[in-house]
Amino acid sequence: MEAVLRVLQEDWQEPLRCTNIEQAMSRAGLPFRDADRRRIAQAILEDPRLADLLRWHPSAYFLTNNERLTARAVLQTLQGSAEGADLARRVSEVLSLTEDEVEAALEALGWIGFLDREEGRLRLSPQAPCFLEGVGLYFHEVAAGAERFNVNCFHDFVLLTSPAYRARRLRKPTRRGPDAPGMTPKMLAFLQSFKPEGLVRRAYDQGTVQLHDACAQCMRRIHLTVTDGRLVATDPLGVWHVRGGGCGVNNLFCAPACAAEWLKSLPSLREGEQGPVAALWEGG
């Protein structure tokens, strides 16, 4: 456990990282076991130094990325209904996961407080809306060799891997206001404690780095590959990005149509930066 906590404590002091327990267990050379994850989560909550480093909802750090994606699929499947029968089967069809995988994820969502179980039926917990604050249920996983970690938003991955984008952001730094969407006061204060040039502690300009993500609208898996500071592959083709303000609204989409659909519920973000991801690695 101590090795995992050391990885998390170090990563959580980085302004762009929000590494989760599963990723830290992998980097510590440990297999993922749910019981171990729960013990580690409890140890974090009981340690004031570590608990103070949680700047998003605890689920961003305690759940796996698949569990967070499952939570998004649960919200879509229920579509405003408080509960649903045969939820595992319906969610497995949305995500192309086995029912056993979904059942395990639903169990974790019950543990974390996103779901309640009553008389054998799962329903959204009254606390479920809290899980959507800040970065919400989105994830953006960086894979650099054996090192895996989540970043706060897709554009943080670009900052880490694109010298051209990093230079442009330094020339025109932005400051988020206290009402910026997709943020929490604690994360906003933390990010504002850094000068723009101090946000990237370690750049990934050399070698091959991948991003594993999911469309913010339809949940289709998205994979980007960057080699020596250049975007060399996207799966699917035509991946689109929206930079709407705070971390929770800076997202990836499998196609422009999904971005347009997502923005229908967020009309204030339509004037934000958006476009094909390939352009972010170009220019100077």
Residue 122 sits in a domain of what CATH number?
Answer: 1.10.10.10
Same domain membership, residue 105 and residue 29 = no
- Is 59 contained in some domain? no
Listed residue (20, 274, 283, 284) closest to 154, CA to CA: 274
- Is 96 contained in some domain? yes
Section 84-91 average pLDDT: 81
Q: What is the pLDDT of residue 170?
A: 86
* φ and ψ at residue 266, rounded to 5 degrees: -135, 60
Same domain membership, residue 185 and residue 74 = no
| Range with lowest mean pLDDT among 48-62, 64-78, 114-128, 136-150 | 114-128
Q: What is the pLDDT of residue 180?
A: 82
Radius of gyration of the chain (CA): 18
Q: What is the pLDDT of residue 85?
A: 65
Q: What is the pLDDT of residue 144?
A: 97
Instruction: Round to whole Å and give the CA distance between 137 and 253.
Output: 15
Instruction: Round to whole Å and give the CA distance between 159 and 32.
Output: 29
- Is 89 contained in some domain? yes
- Is 60 contained in some domain? no
Percent of the chain at pLDDT above 70?
97
CB 48 within 8 A of CB 69: no
Q: What is the pLDDT of residue 271?
A: 83
Q: What is the pLDDT of residue 118?
A: 81
Q: What is the pLDDT of residue 200?
A: 95
Global model pTM greater than 0.85:
yes
Instruction: Report the phi/psi class of residue 4: left, alpha or beta, with left for phi > 0 and alpha for psi in -120 to 50.
Output: alpha
pLDDT at 2 over 90: yes
Q: What is the pLDDT of residue 23?
A: 98
**pLDDT grade, residue 258 (50/70/90)?**
very high
Domain count, the chain: 3
**Residues of the domain holding 213:** 141-281
Section 15-37 average pLDDT: 97
Same domain membership, residue 146 and residue 271 = yes
Same domain membership, residue 157 and residue 257 = yes
